[in-house]
């Protein structure tokens, strides 16, 4: 399968699982497939073919087993179930991603406030680290290993994948670039 086809299959399966998640407060994009696809697609577009293929296999196996990986993620975010994975990769991925989020917040505060989860210790899914850790715990060993490799390589190359993913999203939203979006959202329209 080509990358676009893998991406579409992943988004289709995640959407199917996402709209089935039952929670006290439904997520706003549960009724907006286009918003969901834009946000998740901006992340998955940066994944390698191998990462997408590995995750697609996991989604397919979970579906055959009657499991909903997104329900599990949200249950972890609310601390309703015990940890799903003790992989040492998770801590390193979260640590690097927190550094990237701090850089994003420092350089694009208006965008960060509008588009990102907080770094404040709120202890639930509104917190970036809780959200990311909960999602990573639903990934299988192969997907986690590939994800870790991607994050570590980007970090070693001084790339910020959080900023890159946000760039994808805001360009799909009609902004020229991050600077333009920041200016518009902060009221300093260029």
| pLDDT at res. 91 | 95
Task: Tell me the per-residue pLDDT of 41-94, one tens digit each, with 9 for 90 and over.
Answer: 888 998 999 999 999 999 999 999 999 999 999 899 888 999 999 999 999 999
Please state, in angstroms and rounded to a whole number, the distance separating the CA atoms of residues 6 and 108. 31
Q: Are 171 and 115 in contact (CB under 8 A)?
A: no
Q: Are 165 and 154 in contact (CB under 8 A)?
A: no
The domain limits of the chain are: 3-186
Task: Tell me the per-residue pLDDT of 97-156, one tens digit each, with 9 for 90 and over.
Answer: 999 988 988 988 887 777 666 666 666 566 788 889 999 999 999 999 999 999 999 999
Q: How confident is the model at residue 21 (pLDDT cuts 50, 70, 90)?
A: confident
| pLDDT at res. 43 | 86
Task: Tell me the per-residue pLDDT of 24-37, one tens digit each, with 9 for 90 and over.
Answer: 565 666 667 888 88
- Which residue, among 71, 66, 64, 69, has the nearest Cα to 27 in the 3D structure? 71
- Could you tell me the CA-to-CA distances from 14 to 8, 36, 102, 147, 154 in Å, in that order? 10, 9, 28, 18, 25
- What is the DSSP track for 164-176? HHHHHHHHHTT-S
| pLDDT at res. 190 | 47
| pTM (2 d.p.) | 0.87
| pLDDT at res. 167 | 86
């Amino acid at each position: 399968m080509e990358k676009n086809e893998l991406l579409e299959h992943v988004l289709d399966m995640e959407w199917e699982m996402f709209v089935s998640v039952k929670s006290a407060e439904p997520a706003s994009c549960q009724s907006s497939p286009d918003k969901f696809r834009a946000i998740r697609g901006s992340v998955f577009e940066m994944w390698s073919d191998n990462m997408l293929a590995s995750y697609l296999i996991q989604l397919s196996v979970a579906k055959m087993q009657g499991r909903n990986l997104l329900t599990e993620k949200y249950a972890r975010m609310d601390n309703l179930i015990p940890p799903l994975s003790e992989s040492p990769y998770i801590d390193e991925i979260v640590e690097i991603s927190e550094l990237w989020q701090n850089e994003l917040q420092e350089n694009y505060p208006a965008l960060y406030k509008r588009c990102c989860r907080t770094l404040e210790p709120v202890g639930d899914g509104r917190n970036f680290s809780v959200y990311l850790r909960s999602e990573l715990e639903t990934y299988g060993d192969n997907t986690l290993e590939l994800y870790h490799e991607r994050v570590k390589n980007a970090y070693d190359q001084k790339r910020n994948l959080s900023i890159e993913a946000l760039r994808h999203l805001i360009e799909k939203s009609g902004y020229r670039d991050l600077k333009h979006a920041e200016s518009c959202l902060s009221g300093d329209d260029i």
